Amino acid sequence: MDNKKIKAGITVFPGSNCDADVYRVLNGVFGISASFIWHKDKIKDLGGYNFIVIPGGFSYGDYLRSGALAARSPVMEYIKDYASKGGIVLGICNGFQILLEAGLLSGVMLTNNSLKFECKDVYLKTLNTETPFTCALKKDSLLKMPIAHHDGNYFAEKKIIERLNDKNAVIFKYCDENGSITELSNPNGSMHNIAGISNENVNVMGLMPHPERSSEKILGSEDGGYIFQSIIKYIKER
Amino acid sequence: MNKKAFIKIMLKDEVLDPQGKAVLSVLKSSGFDNVKDVRVGKYIEVDFAGEIKGGHASLKEEAEEISEKILSNPLIEEFTIEIK
């Protein structure tokens, strides 16, 4: 299967600002056919897309709570339907917050424990490689990617954390450059250093760091590219 | 009918409130060292006109649905409603 035949949809809300970066990486670096979906577009059946990306930014100016208003927009109803049929959905940064608010993923993002907007490179440890988002990676692989967020402090009640662990739904954790998961390598206070989780069917993943900003050598890291390579591999082998 | 719902949303007691902690430390360093704790929340006024929606018996019930589904995140927040 030619990459060009793979179709991806990138949602755009008022205030999304990583949409063009994702577009560039998917089309320019990986040669697939990605296009934008405006939040008011009435594409009720998203079945024509091989996967959907909800990009980062400040949808609706982060009013009320990060992601809260975007999560209630029409396109999210179509995405819920798409996800319930097994469709692959990746939410990056604000996209992760939107997935949590929409109830497609469990838990909530609190303000970083530093109270600061954290913008820097971090290391991630890959905990589960049996997902559409990580199947091109080896277990425990370390990835260097940038974070850029104010509310990335993942919080969930004990019951939810236990369930995530049971289902191997914690996909990425923040770690140091040697792969040790330490308090010092946790950039935002996130519970158990959680950086990325999936739903139980592992077809929906939220990730705080930005793979689209680390998919080209010139940007200092190509590690984020493994996420997109995995999705492409998964689609081709399905 | 033209009534208003006054909705107060606070983080649950067991959830750390970093904003409150920051305000607390500024208050203390400003000499108000008798301040023990600070919690920061949200206050939202919703102005209604017309019939009650969502099959509810009262405006309070409708405001409860709005608060639970949209204005607050029940995982970390709780709310109180006053109708006037």
Q: How far is CA B30 from CA A152, B17, B35, B76, in A?
A: 30, 20, 11, 30
Do residues B7 and B70 lie in contact, with contact meaning Cβ atoms separated by under 8 Å? Answer: no
* Nearest CB neighbour to A115, from listed B15, B22, B70: B22
Report yes or no: A193 and A96 within 8 Å, Cβ to Cβ. Answer: no
Model confidence, pTM = 0.92
Condensed to tens digits (0 to 9), the pLDDT of residues A87-108 reads: 999 999 999 999 999 999 999 9
Helix H or strand E encompassing B20: helix B18-29
pLDDT at position A58, please? 96
Enumerate the domain spans of chain B.
Answer: 4-83
**Chain A residues close to B16, C-beta within 8 Å:** 110, 113
B3-49 pLDDT, tens digit per residue, is: 999 999 999 998 888 889 889 999 999 999 999 999 999 999 999 99
Where in chain A are the domains? 3-237
Q: Could you tell me the CA-to-CA distances from A89 to A10, A38, A56, A208, A224 in Å, in that order?
A: 10, 16, 14, 14, 16
CATH superfamily of B4-83: Phosphoribosylformylglycinamidine synthase subunit PurS (3.30.1280.10)
ipTM above 0.90, yes or no: no
For the cut 70, the answer to whether the pLDDT of residue B1 exceeds it is no
Q: Which residues of B touch A (CB under 8 A)?
A: 15-16, 18-19, 22, 70-71, 73, 75-76
Q: Do A115 and B15 touch (CB under 8 A)?
A: no
Contacts of A63 (CB under 8 A, 6+ apart): A69
Beta-carbon neighbour count of residue A99 at 10 Å? 30
Q: Tell me the catalytic residues of A.
A: 93, 210, 212
Of A72, A107, A110, which is closest to B70 when you measure between CB atoms? A72
Chain B: closest CA distance from residue A194 (Å): 17
* CB-based contact B73 A110, cutoff 8 Å: no
- Which candidate, A136, A144, A133, A143, places its Cα nearest to that of A170? A133
The residues, ordered by sequence, that sit 6+ positions from A15 with a Cβ below 8 Å of its Cβ are: A57, A58, A59, A60, A61, A62
**A24: Cα separation from own chain's centroid:** 17
Name chain B contacts of A101, Cβ cutoff 8 Å.
73
Count of CB pairs separated by less than 8 Å, A with B: 28
Superfamily of domain A3-237: Class I glutamine amidotransferase (GATase) domain (3.40.50.880)
Contacts of B68 in chain A (CB under 8 A): none
Q: One-letter amino acid identity for B65?
A: E
Coil, helix or strand at residue A168: coil
Which residues on chain B are in Cβ contact (under 8 Å) with A110?
15-16, 18, 76
Taking residues A3-18, what's their average pLDDT? Answer: 97
pLDDT tens profile A164-218: 999 999 999 999 999 999 999 999 999 999 999 999 999 999 999 999 999 999 9
